[in-house]
Amino acid sequence: MKFQKVYSLEEIANIINCEYVGDANFTVSGMNEIHVVESGDIVFVDHPKYYDKALNSAATIVLINKKVDCPEGKALLISDDPFRDFNKLTNHFKPFQFSNVSIATSASIGQGTIIQPNTFIGNHVVIGKNCLIHSNVSIYDYTVIGDNVMIHAGTILGADAFYYKKRAEGYDQLLSGGRVVIKDNVGIGALCTIDKGVTGDTTIGEGTKIDNQVHVGHDTVIGKNCLIASQTGIAGCVIIEDDVTIWGQVGTTSGITIGAKAVILGQTGVTKSVEGGKSYFGTPIEESREKLKQLANIKKIPEILNKLK
């Protein structure tokens, strides 16, 4: 998430009321999760296991819960609770905006686009030309939709990321300040749910077609011309490259990559990253030929046991 202007390190520290290490005028231009950070971004870290990863990331400002040596060319924000203060920053720069109309006045809708009744379009939404948005669709703030996109009834774009920190009193939600970005010529079925990024974008690539009742988690990036069948659940921070086919009732873990032109057969559990250009099946996932051979051999076990008697 990039800020609308550049801030100083001191200004950011004042927002969250914390100490800082570095030049007071050190420039801060945004905030992001570690997998999408760039120079000028703030990243937060609150566990020693991930200190080195955060300090050595592309982020140049690290919101951290311990005083450590500051890497050259970077700055630190010292907080007793980085998770809480990251939320404060999200709420400061991307606060929830109330709307009491079906289509926000700040939304932009392209020529030839049809919006069916009972659809909600939030603040600062951008929809391109010649789209068809069916009834009872909810499009949250800052969503971006390209040209020639079809979205069927009941779909929700831009709900919060499923991202929580467990505390003594219960679960604390990490606020979502990112977006959903739908590229040109995408088709989205009925009752799909696509969560916005925590700070970045959840992206559906050009020409991709998504069946009914598919869930896409936060910060996931789906490439061009993919086919995703019904009841598939894609976790957060997944990369699905171009021309991937995913059949029904597939589930994935987070943070993996599915290579270009891979085919994931129905009811597969994608438990790890997989290469492109191959077909996969089963849980845990394996190449489909190997998995089907294994299943065929399992069927022979009773016969083998009888021969051993």
Distance CA 154, CA 135 (A): 7
Specify the amino acid at residue 75: A
H/E element, 234: strand 233-234
The tokens describing 83, both together, are: 């998770």
Does residue 284 have a cis bond before it (omega within 30 degrees)?
yes
Catalytic residue among 134, 152, 215, 218: 218
Specify the amino acid at residue 102: S
| 3-state SS class at 50 | helix
Q: Do residues 75 and 239 touch, judged by C-beta distance below 8 A? A: no
Mark residue 179 as left, alpha or beta (left: phi above 0; alpha: psi -120 to 50; beta: remaining).
beta
218 catalytic, yes or no? yes
Q: Do residues 178 and 202 touch, judged by C-beta distance below 8 A? A: yes
Active site residues: 218
